[in-house]
Amino acid sequence: MVAGGWTINGVEPNGVPSHVMEWIQHWAEICQPTDIHIMDGSDEEDQMLKKMMVEQGVLIPLTKYQNCYLARTDPKDVARTEARTVISTKNKIDTHPVTDTYSGKLGHWISPEDLDKKIQSLFPGCMNGRTMYVIPFSMGPVGSQLSRIGIEITDSAYVSVCMRIMTRVGRQVLNVLGDSPFVKGVHSVGAPLKPGEHSALWPCNPDKVLIAHKPETSEIISFGSGYGGNSLLGKKCLALRLGSSIARKEGWLAEHMLISGVTMPNGQKKYITAAFPSCCGKTNLAMLQPKLPGYKVTVVGDDIAWLHPDENGQLRAINPENGFFGVAPGTNFQSNPYAMASIFKDTIFSNVALTPDGGVWWEGMGPKPKSCIDWRGKPWRASSSTPAAHPNSRFCTPLVNCPVLDPAWEDPHGVPVSAIFFGGRRPSGVPLIYQAISWEHGVFMGAAVKSEATAAAEFKGKQIMHDPFSMRPFFGYNFGDYLRHWLSIGKLLKNPPPIFMVNWFRRGHDGGLLWPGFGDNIRVLEWALNRSAGQLPASGRCVGWVPTHDGLDIHGLEESPDMEALLATPTRFWREEAAEIRQYFKSEIGDSLPTEMWRQLDKLDKRIEVFSDYNVEEDEYHSYEPIG
């Protein structure tokens, strides 16, 4: 029993540190759950929760696979809700870079007073009729110096079982915590039950969603949504939003990046990190099956990297997560064979289609089934005009399932980083790959990332949006300060890793993709790693270092790609791009922008004009002497 009269059916409360108990009790008194369950992280507990959810109809067992389940969300709760995601700091300028032309694109700010008012209007009694689950979790290996401990309170059993996949959950976390402070996360689906009332299969409260972060007190408050990025509080909320703010204070970086090891034919192994917006292929690149002989790629993480400069000035990366929360549509044995080898065991799928034999299907998985049950639970036929799976349907799978998991995935010191990649979906103008001229130029490239909107958030259509560092939805503090922080990290590194921009999504005149992508992306990584080792010439262009026309190994490709079109840097496009970046910097970042970024933009302008003389034809490819 906790004082206050709630039954605890997990572990004995006397094993729980007293500051944790006080915090639990504080929220229990506000939320008024029926009972409290402190998670111990055991298999028995996991099975008990899943069995309960199957009985309630919240999870559907997938009999074709081993320990796999399907959850269908409310159609109004299928993605992150960026417009309702806020950061609360005393001063607005600590969240958002400009105060006058505030658009909210780089962080929605709310005052602590207004947030308190919202909490007071939303949370009292919000867990009536429900169990309050208390989830102690570690982001990063339990006990590592680089890890962070959080505790999430939630009234969703679905969130509890997914947190057990995505983070390290259980008793051992509380043992390590002792009486130290922890990140406090409170989540409610916001759908209290009256006595005798039955719960919706996917309870949520879409009109009242609030995802709030208080970096000054390490607190997260999430209301109204059960969708992964909104409710699994260790992921975007702790590891990126609060994480980036903690990292700034402590001298490291929390980034929206995959981490992979690339073993080359000579046996040498290098680790890379890469930032792409959600739904742009991070999971596919992280565990790519190389199409060049002699290469092997192993995965450390597919979404989040915590990057620390070590005492020797080497940048090192850890993956704070314990699972993959990957996009299902498009995943198949060709695009991502290792994901396919990982996800049919111990996985919780959301919003995919259910096949008659108790399996799953999604668009781009393979041949259409004749019929199935779609993500809304409705009968679906191969001739149906609506998708069977939601475009943002997901698999939630433990990392250990992956056959190409890197042996150092849990190394408490992290892996050394040899190259950093940025990228987005750019149908035109942006080359397949180019290299920054310096760390500062690389930071500028990250700041200027743009990408087509995807299904990961609430945006509609194919608009091209700024997504600096692929972190736009995840910045925990002022973006101008974030850029200054990146610049200062470069100074701490003895040999800063080279920075590259990649674009798998360039299209030709006929609208088709110019590059095959997936396993053939190893050809691009090979160029980058050889460049990092100083082993290749490149041509200096307005954007930086671009491969020479024969720089990439394209032998063995079924169709020979149009390398000229893939590597072209059309002058008119880049003039417009640079002018648009200037406008964006001015209106969205204003005085917060470090002067170094203006300097880099001026240099880009200059290079565009210098090289424009040669670009007589907009799309023509030329190889130049490298720029110095």
Active-site residue set: 280
Residues 6 or more apart whose CB falls under 8 angstroms from that of 150 comprise 136, 137, 138, 139, 167, 182, 183, 184, 185, 220, 233, 234, 238
Is the distance from CB of 334 to CB of 518 less than 8 angstroms?
yes
One-letter amino acid at 170 equals G
Strands 148-154, 183-188: pairing is: parallel
Q: Look-up: residue for tokens 């200062």?
A: 488
Cβ closest to Mn ion, residue 228 vs residue 547 = 228
With contacts defined by CB under 5 A, name the span among 44-52, 273-281, 333-341, 426-434 that binds Mn ion: 273-281
Binding residues for ligand SAT restricted to 53-112, rule: CB under 6 A: 80
* DSSP states along 516-583: --GGGGHHHHHHHHHHHTT----EEETTEEE--TT-S--TT-SS---HHHHH---HHHHHHHHHHHHH
Give the end-to-end CA distance of the chain in Å, rounded to a whole number.
70
Q: How many residues bind Mn ion (CB under 5 A)?
A: 2
Cβ closest to ligand SAT, residue 130 vs residue 282 = 282
E strands, 351-510, where?
353-354, 360-361, 371-373, 379-381, 394-398, 415-423, 433-435, 450-452, 464-466, 499-502
Both tokens of residue 185? 């996360």
Measured from each CB, the residue nearest to ligand SAT is 229
CB of residue 240 to Mn ion, shortest distance in Å = 8
**Residue among 236, 426, 531, 541 that touches ligand SAT (CB under 6 A):** 236
With contacts defined by CB under 6 A, name the span among 48-56, 213-221, 227-235, 482-490 that binds ligand SAT: 227-235
Per CB under 5 A, 321 contacts Mn ion = no
Helix and strand numbers (H, E) in the chain are 15, 31
Binding residues for ligand SAT restricted to 301-320, rule: CB under 6 A: 303
Binding residues for ligand SAT restricted to 202-221, rule: CB under 6 A: none
Distance CA 86, CA 102 (A): 14
Is the distance from CB of 347 to CB of 68 less than 8 angstroms?
yes
With contacts defined by CB under 6 A, name the span among 52-60, 69-77, 228-236, 314-322 that binds ligand SAT: 228-236
Residues 6 or more apart whose CB falls under 8 angstroms from that of 22 comprise none
Query: Which among ligand SAT, Mn ion, none contacts residue 235 (Cβ within 5 to 8 A by kind)?
Result: ligand SAT
Query: Which among Mn ion, ligand SAT, none contacts residue 229 (Cβ within 5 to 8 A by kind)?
Result: ligand SAT
CB of residue 278 to Mn ion, shortest distance in Å = 4
**Residue among 154, 230, 278, 503 that touches Mn ion (CB under 5 A):** 278
Is the distance from CB of 402 to CB of 324 less than 8 angstroms?
yes
With contacts defined by CB under 5 A, name the span among 59-67, 102-110, 191-199, 270-278 that binds Mn ion: 270-278
Per CB under 6 A, 278 contacts ligand SAT = yes
Name the 3-class secondary structure at 277.
coil
Distance CA 476, CA 470 (A): 13
CB of residue 239 to Mn ion, shortest distance in Å = 10
CB of residue 353 to Mn ion, shortest distance in Å = 23
With contacts defined by CB under 5 A, name the span among 174-182, 275-283, 338-346, 380-388 that binds Mn ion: 275-283
CB of residue 225 to ligand SAT, shortest distance in Å = 10
CB of residue 46 to ligand SAT, shortest distance in Å = 21
Q: Cα dihedral angle (179, 185, 190, 196), rounded to 10 degrees?
A: -30
Cβ closest to ligand SAT, residue 185 vs residue 570 = 185
Sequence-separated contacts (24+) of 377-385 with Cβ below 8 Å: 377/72, 380/353
**Residue among 185, 215, 226, 229 that touches ligand SAT (CB under 6 A):** 229
Pattern of binders to Mn ion over 284-303, x per CB under 5 A? -------------------x
* DSSP states along 39-82: ----HHHHHHHHHHHHHHTSSEE-TTSBS-EEE---TT-SSB-G
Binding residues for Mn ion restricted to 505-564, rule: CB under 5 A: none
Q: How many residues bind ligand SAT (CB under 6 A)?
A: 9
Query: Which among ligand SAT, Mn ion, none contacts residue 425 (Cβ within 5 to 8 A by kind)?
Result: none
Query: Which among ligand SAT, Mn ion, none contacts residue 372 (Cβ within 5 to 8 A by kind)?
Result: none
| DSSP secondary structure letter of residue 401 | G
Is the distance from CB of 178 to CB of 167 less than 8 angstroms?
no
Neighbours of 34 (CB within 10 A): 14
CB of residue 399 to Mn ion, shortest distance in Å = 15
Cβ closest to ligand SAT, residue 241 vs residue 484 = 241
| DSSP secondary structure letter of residue 94 | G
Cβ closest to Mn ion, residue 210 vs residue 456 = 456
Per CB under 6 A, 184 contacts ligand SAT = no
Distance CA 476, CA 457 (A): 18
Per CB under 6 A, 472 contacts ligand SAT = no
Per CB under 6 A, 456 contacts ligand SAT = yes
**Residue among 158, 252, 325, 515 that touches ligand SAT (CB under 6 A):** 325
Cβ closest to ligand SAT, residue 325 vs residue 439 = 325
* List of residues contacting ligand SAT (CB under 6 A): 80, 228-229, 235-236, 278, 303, 325, 456
Binding region for Mn ion (CB under 5 A): 278, 303
